[in-house]
Amino acid sequence: MRNTFKDQALETLFQKDGYVQVPFLNAEEVEMLKAYYFDTLEESGGTIGPEDEKYKSQQKITYDFTFIDKNSDYKVQVFNTITKSFEKHFEKYLDNYKPIIANFIRKKEDGGEVPLHQNWAFADEHKCATVSIWCPLVDSNRENGTLEVVPGSHKRYGEVRGPMIKSELFGIQQDIIDKFMIPLETKAGDCVILDDSIVHYSSPNQTDGLRLAIQLILIPKEENSIHYHMDLSKDRSLVEVLEVDHDFYMKFNPWKKPAGDVKRIDSFKYEPFDMTIEEFEAKLNQPRFDEVKTDKPGDLEEVEVQPSIDQSHPQTQSPQPTSDRSFWSRLRSKLSKA
């Protein structure tokens, strides 16, 4: 496992808790980014919802989130501005990481609850950690909906995470919030750097003031980004592993089916399941999934990737490095015995 942080004390704390809190932006940078957000709001294309992708969902999003903006050019502009403002700061802390997604997250008055979740998997988490930098542009506390986490919950749940893959924690969200969440009160300009697999949540903004924050997601520079996709209209137990890049995220949203020409590097069978709160608590004290030894690769037959929908782009696969192929084989083997 490679290091995430340059500083060993931060690395040790991050490996233990799944997050660290550090100083980040100065007051001038905070005000500049707040002004930029409001000055460019008219360029936003509005929020994409499930109905825009002809997907039926009861989910209602009550916060503004750049990633689901209809204007991909605006998303690119936001990404470039945030990355430029954050770069010298994250390079001070992180050990050779590159940004792939940037968001403004705005909670309006009396709204904006972000349900309990884990971020998607963005790279091979057996080799590295991918991280989100969460930086509020106003002082954040429980009253205005600050970030809350379950310390030490990283890499213990949701080994396969993507927008169309049901979380095993879905049925016990409120129990986890009630029993295990801790709020991370954070001053404007300070940040939380968290493992994307940590279980986290934020409550509604219960004040009449602004609650504006930035999220920047990063992966190690040497890693290719991946995306787990399950096509619910075809097979609810088949996960495709896609190799994607920054441009993919600029045009993607949680309800969109990836284009047929996106590179499929593997696939495996996975049956979503439900976890009990007792199982959740027990797992907090068990080894992380990147620490568990697995069977030798190659025990299972390969699962063929489904043909591309767009036949004008026939699917091709390049030979994969042995280490990557071994990882997917190990994952398939482990999941088959879960």
Q: What is the mean pLDDT of the chain?
A: 87
Instruction: Among 56-65, 174-183, 311-320, name the most confident range.
Output: 174-183
Encode pLDDT of 126-163 as tens digits.
999 999 999 999 999 999 999 999 999 999 999 999 99
Q: Between 262 and 316, whose confidence is greater?
A: 262
Using alpha carbons only, how large is the chain's radius of gyration in Å?
Answer: 20
Is residue 229 scored above 60 in pLDDT? yes
Q: Which pLDDT belongs to residue 316? A: 31
CB atoms under 10 Å from CB of 278, counted, come to 10
Name residue 139's amino acid.
D
Task: Pull the structure tokens for residue 145.
Answer: 């909906």
Does the structure show a pLDDT above 90 at 304? Answer: no
Encoded tokens for 113: 């609850």
Q: What pLDDT does residue 255 have?
A: 86
Q: Is pLDDT above 70 for 317?
A: no
Q: Report pLDDT for 62.
A: 73
- Look up the pTM and report it: 0.86
Q: Which residues of 29-64 are buried (b: 16+ CB within 10 A; e: fewer)?
A: bbeebbebbeeeeeebeeebbbeeeebeeeeebebb
Determine which helix (DSSP H) or strand (DSSP E) holds 332, and give its type and residue range: helix 322-336
327 compared with 252, residue with greater pLDDT: 252
Mean pLDDT of 194-222: 96
Domains delineated in the chain: 8-225 (2.60.120.620)
Q: How far is CA 22 from CA 10, 17, 167, 170, in A?
A: 9, 14, 30, 31
Q: How many other C-beta atoms can be found within 10 angstroms of the C-beta atom of residue 288?
A: 20
Q: Which residue has the higher pLDDT, 293 or 223?
A: 223
10 Å CB burial of residue 248 (0-12, 13-18, 19+) is middle
Is the pLDDT confidence value at 303 over 60? no
> Could you give the CA distance from residue 288 to residue 87 in angstroms, rounded to a whole number?
30
